[in-house]
Amino acid sequence: MRNITFTADEQLIAAAREQAKAESSTLNEQFRLWLEGYAAKRRAARAVEIMNRISAYASSGGKTFSREERNERR
C-alpha cells in the first residue's frame, strides 16, 4: 500500500473524522472506499465502450436463437 497526502480545510477534516467515527470507521478507510468507487467508474466506462464496439460488428440482425442453437458447438 502507498501513502498519499492531501490538503484540506482543518474544519472539513475534523467534520469528516467525526462522521467516520459515527459510522465506526476511519477517515482513511472511508477515503479508500471512495477511491475504489472512483476508479471503478473508469473501468465501467471502458467496459461499456468495449461492449459498444463489439455490438457494432457482432449482431444477430434481430434473429433470436433457441437454447439448442445458442449452445451448439461448431
**What is each CA distance from 61 to 42, 49, 50, in whole angstroms?**
30, 20, 19
- Which of 4-8, 13-17, 19-23, 45-49 is predicted with the least confidence, judged by mean pLDDT? 45-49
Contact criterion met (CB below 8 Å) for 16 and 30: yes
Angle at 26 between CA 39 and CA 32, to 5 degrees: 10
Domain spans in the chain, listed from the N-terminal domain onward: 10-56
pLDDT > 70: percent of the chain: 100
Q: Over 90: is that where the pLDDT of 56 sits?
A: no
List C-alpha distances in Å: 42 to 29, 37, 51.
21, 9, 14
Mean pLDDT over the full length of the chain: 89
- Torsion angles phi and psi, residue 42, rounded to 5: -70, -40
The C-alpha atoms of residue 29 and residue 37 are separated, in whole angstroms, by 13
